[in-house]
């Protein structure tokens, strides 16, 4: 970015602005003085704004191609909905795991009712203990879910902040690059079910 | 002993319910936020509350404060089970009258210990 020539011309432009501002101030040209000072401020703010603009675009890309115009928040909702979907998927899987753990515990009760020798009783206790641990380990779902919800909140706030600054500037980005990843119900119109896929394959002679 | 379990994550409610069941506390009910919990506490009879902190609508700390400010409920024991682990938060909970505080993730043994300690203290003060 900072080429020597560019820096030099920046410097001479800065000197010129400062001299113009000083001249305006000395000659009592209030409007002229303000104009020069504003121009100087803009000169300083411009790299920061372009930096923020780049950051906003990178954030957008990192989150799966967010809108290049912040007011179109639709795709941000899409990105956040994907994260919400992760919470739902882990919730379902966790309930399934808990179902199975509970069922296994009930089965151990039946074994015990049938009468066991000492060694078998000991093993059964260990199995029951491990099933408790399996259930408890599923609390990761709550904890990761909380973290994801927090990140969704942060993303929304950062994006709103960029929007308030008018960032990122409209830019044509290459869209739909890369793999879509797991399909999210209600969001991914490109997604097909296994049945659809089988139909398609059979149409293709497979 | 009837226990109300308050957490916005259904998985965590279920895990806590199972652990309490293992410890012999099989009479439980569930609420998904502080507001729902409070209305259950006001209309039904409970002996103990296990609550999360971070929940939508009404948080666990707000629930705790509401319980302590309610003439009928103020002596109800409240155990907080939460991922909130900042010093100031634990202090706030203690100052608001919490009876126990467990940080997620936790072990079955921790739950048993904390419950035991709460009941011991309650028995001593009774």
CB-nearest partner of A138 from B7, B15, B54: B15
Q: What is the mean pLDDT of chain A?
A: 78
Give residue A168's pLDDT. Answer: 60
**pLDDT, tens only, B66-96:** 999 999 999 999 999 998 888 889 899 999 9
- Check which CATH number belongs to the domain holding B37 and give it: 3.40.50.2300
For residue B14, list chain A residues with Cβ-Cβ distance below 8 A: 95, 98
Nearest to B53 by CA among B113, B115, B99, B103: B103
Residue in A with minimal Cα distance to B19: A132
Residue B5 has pLDDT above 90, yes or no: yes
Residue A176 has pLDDT above 50, yes or no: no
**pLDDT, tens only, A113-130:** 888 899 999 999 999 999
Confirm or reject contact between A99 and chain B (CB < 8 A).
Answer: no
Residue A1 has pLDDT above 70, yes or no: no
The continuous run of DSSP H or E covering B98 comes out as none
The residue ranking higher by pLDDT, B30 or B108, is B30
Query: What is the domain extent for residue B39?
Result: 3-125
Show the 3-state SS of chain A: CCCHHHHHHHHHHHHHHHHHHHHHHHCCCHHHHHHHHHHHHHHHHHHHHHHHHHHHHHHHHHCCCCCCCCCCCHHHHHHHHHHHHHHHHHHHHHHHHHHHHHHHHHHHHHHHHCCCCHHHHHHHHHHHHHHHHHHHHCCHHHHHHHHHHHHHHHHHHHHHHHHHCCCCCCCCCCCCCCCCCCCCCCCCCCCCCHHHHHHHHHHCCC
* Mutant choice from A87, A101, A128, A136 vs B, greatest count of B C-beta within 10 A: A136
The residue ranking higher by pLDDT, A67 or B93, is B93
Residue B47 has pLDDT above 90, yes or no: yes
Answer whether B48's CB lies under 8 Å from B76's CB: yes
Domain coordinates in residue numbering, chain A = 1-62, 77-173+182-194
Residue A175 has pLDDT above 60, yes or no: no
The sheet carrying B3-6 orders its strands as B28-31, B3-6, B48-51, B78-82, B100-103
Report the number of distinct structural domains present in chain B. 1
Residues within 8 A of B (CB atoms), A 23-82 only:
none
Report the first-to-last Cα separation within chain B, whole angstroms. 16
What is the value of pTM for the model shown? 0.69
């Amino acid at each position: 970015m900072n080429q020597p020539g560019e820096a030099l011309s920046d410097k001479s432009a800065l000197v010129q602005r400062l001299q113009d501002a000083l001249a305006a101030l000395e000659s009592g040209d209030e409007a002229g003085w303000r104009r020069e000072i504003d121009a100087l401020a803009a000169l300083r703010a411009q790299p920061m704004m372009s930096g923020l603009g780049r950051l906003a675009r990178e954030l957008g890309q990192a989150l799966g191609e967010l809108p290049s115009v912040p007011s179109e928040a639709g795709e941000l909702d899409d990105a956040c909905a994907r994260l919400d979907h992760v919470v739902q998927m882990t919730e379902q899987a966790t309930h399934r795991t808990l179902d199975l753990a509970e069922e296994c515990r009930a089965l151990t009760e039946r074994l015990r009712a049938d009468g066991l020798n000492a060694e078998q009783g000991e093993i059964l206790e260990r199995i029951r203990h491990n099933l408790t641990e399996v259930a408890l380990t599923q609390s990761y779902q709550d904890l990761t879910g909380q973290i994801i919800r927090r990140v969704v909140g942060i993303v929304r706030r950062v994006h709103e902040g960029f929007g308030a600054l008018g960032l990122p500037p409209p830019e044509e980005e290459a869209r739909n690059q890369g793999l879509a990843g797991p399909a999210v119900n209600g969001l991914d119109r490109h997604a097909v079910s296994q049945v659809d896929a089988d139909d398609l394959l059979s149409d293709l002679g497979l | 002993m009837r226990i109300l379990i308050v957490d916005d994550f259904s998985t965590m409610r279920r895990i806590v319910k199972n652990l309490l069941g293992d410890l012999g506390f099989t009479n439980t009910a569930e609420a998904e936020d502080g507001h729902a919990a409070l209305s259950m506490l006001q209309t039904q009879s409970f002996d103990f509350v296990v609550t999360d902190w971070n929940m939508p609508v009404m948080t666990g700390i707000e629930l705790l404060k509401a319980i302590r400010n309610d003439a009928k409920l103020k002596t109800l024991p409240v155990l907080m089970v939460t991922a909130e682990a900042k010093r100031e938060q634990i202090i706030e909970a203690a100052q608001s009258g919490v009876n126990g505080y467990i940080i997620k993730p936790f072990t079955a043994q921790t739950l048993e210990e904390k419950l035991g300690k709460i009941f011991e203290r309650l028995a001593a003060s009774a």
